[in-house]
Amino acid sequence: MYIADHTWPELGDYVAEESVAVVPLGSTEQHGPHLPLATDHLIAEALAREAAERTGFLCTPTINVGVSPHHRQFHGTMWVDPPEFRDYVESFTRNLTYHGIDRLVYVNAHGGNVQHLREVGRRLHEDETAYAVEWMWDESIPDLIDDLSEFNGPHGGPKETAMIQHIAPELVREDRLADARDGGVKDMSAIRDDNFVHGARTFYDARENSDNGVFGDQTDATAEKGEELFEAATEQLVKLLEWLDAREFAELLPAGHVDPQPGSRR
């Protein structure tokens, strides 16, 4: 159920029975010449809404702007700095806990958000406010992603292209797929060879590695592959939500200090 479509009494009925929510998060940033800036938050919202529809759990509005300064050289990219992003998501989450939610999945579709969402989850777990976990759709189905494309890429590649071809085909510039491939980096092994020196990662921004900001072979993407990816990722998210719902909240709290407890021998 989508929270913004319901009245407050209806939401009261929900939290009287359930305490699980999904929070979709993405970005508004460049995704090459063929995909919209909305790519990440479109994917996150579609997956979260579908999983909520299948399970009946609560879905919140989408957080559309994330931590994306590494794409700042490309027109239109928006970002917030990490401390502000973490504080906003934490405050957003504490708002939900005030209304009775104590278990959340951050349905994330942007790599730049990952470490910050995990940090927010750690804070909430440490003070026993909520159990919130970050879930990245492509990390839930790595084998399928590898099977579907010979040249994958972490950004604007065939997996994201296929997902948008499935979710919002009207937003894909199909006539620019070859441009995306030829103007970017098709084979990611070159990046690994050229940008790690004596064990140190020597780059910060996408622009340093790819002239058009994307990686992989976008011409290998199809809407049919996108549908397969979407269904497989949704299935994993549904299973995660069901697992989370089956846990007693006390099971999810931090473990106690090992014995002897501090001060116990005084």
* Residue spans per domain, the chain: 3-252
pLDDT in tens, 27-65: 999 999 999 999 999 999 999 999 999 999 999 999 999
- The answer to whether residues 185 and 39 touch, using CB atoms and an 8 Å cutoff, is no
- The answer to whether residues 198 and 169 touch, using CB atoms and an 8 Å cutoff, is no
For 6, residues 6+ apart whose C-beta sits below 8 A from its C-beta are 14
Distance between CA atoms of residues 43 and 163, nearest Å: 7
Distance between CA atoms of residues 233 and 261, nearest Å: 43
| Backbone φ, ψ for residue 247 (5° rounding) | -85, 140
Per-residue pLDDT of the chain (266 residues), as tens digits, is 999 999 999 999 999 999 999 999 999 999 999 999 999 999 999 999 999 999 999 999 999 999 999 999 999 999 999 999 999 999 999 999 999 999 999 999 999 999 999 999 999 999 999 999 999 999 999 999 999 999 999 999 999 999 999 999 999 999 999 999 999 999 888 776 677 888 888 888 999 999 999 999 999 999 999 999 999 999 999 999 999 999 999 999 999 888 888 777 77
Distance between CA atoms of residues 71 and 114, nearest Å: 16
Domain 3-252 architecture: 3-Layer(aba) Sandwich (3.40)
Rounded (10°) CA dihedral 106, 47, 164, 84: -20
pLDDT in tens, 86-113: 999 999 999 999 999 999 999 999 999 9
- The answer to whether residues 138 and 111 touch, using CB atoms and an 8 Å cutoff, is no
> Which among 231, 223, 78, 77 has a CA at the least distance from the CA of 160?
223
pTM (predicted TM-score) = 0.95
Quote the longest CA-to-CA distance of the chain: 75
